[in-house]
Amino acid sequence: MSDLDELYQEVILDHYRRPRNHGVLEGANRSAEGYNPLCGDRLVVYLKVENDVVTDVSFEGSGCAISQASASVMTSALKGKKRDQVQALFEKFRSVVSGEGGDEAAAALGEMGAMAGVSQFPTRVKCATLAWHAALAAMDDTQTRTPAVSTEP
C-alpha cells in the first residue's frame, strides 16, 4: 500500500465513522433518494436551494463505507455551489472514480479525490457516485413542496 493509498483510506474511514452534515436537514426545500441495488446502499440527500445556490445540504442513509463516506465528503463540497458548478464537480469526480482522471485530477479534488481508489473496483463506482446522483436529482426537483422536515408530531 502506498502512502497515498493509506492517506485516502484514512479520509474514507474518517468520513464513514464521523459523517459530516448527517441527518435530516431542517428547512430543506429539495430532496431526493438514491438506491444502489448492487450493494444495498440507500441514502437521501436534502438541499436548501436559494436562487439556484445550495445554501445548506445534508444526507442520511445506510450502506457501505464508500457510499457513506462519499456522501459525507460531497456535502462538505456543495455548499455555496450553483447547479452547473455541482454538475461540473460531479463530472470531475466521476472521471476520477472511473479511473479516467489520473492522480493529478484526484489530487485537485481534495478529499473527494480520496475516492480515486474505487476505480480499481468497477462495481464500487456506483457506491461512490450514488450521493451525487441523488444531489443532482434533488437540485432538479423544482416542484414546490413543503420542507422535508415536518414540525408536526
Q: Which is nearer to Zn ion, 53 or 64 (CB)?
A: 64
List phi, psi (to 5°) of 35.
-140, 130
Element holding 8 (H helix, E strand) = helix 3-17
Query: Which segment (49-57, 58-66, 72-80, 94-102) binds Zn ion by CB under 5 A?
Result: 58-66
- Out of 24, 53, 64, 136, point to the residue binding Zn ion (CB under 5 A): 64
- Candidates 20-28, 60-68, 70-78, 81-89; binding stretch for Zn ion (CB under 5 A): 60-68
User: For residue 62, what are the β-bridge partners?
Assistant: 42
Least distance from Zn ion to the Cβ atom of residue 49, Å? 27
Inter-residue contact 72 to 59 (CB < 8 Å): yes
Report helix, strand or coil for 26: coil
The CA-atom distances, in angstroms, between 42 and each of 37, 38, 60 are: 8, 11, 8
Which lies closer to Zn ion via its Cβ, residue 32 or residue 148? Answer: 32
Residue 39 vs 136, nearer CB to Zn ion: 39
Strand ranges (E), the chain: 30-36, 41-50, 53-62
Residue 67 as a binder of Zn ion (CB under 5 A): the answer is yes
Least Cβ distance, residue 128 to Zn ion (angstroms):
8
Query: Is 41 an interacting residue with respect to Zn ion (CB under 5 A)?
Result: yes
d(CA 63, CA 42): 6
C-beta closer to Zn ion: residue 41 or 111: 41
Residue 127 lies near Zn ion (rule: CB under 5 A): yes
**Residues of this chain that bind Zn ion (CB under 5 A):** 39, 41, 64, 67, 127
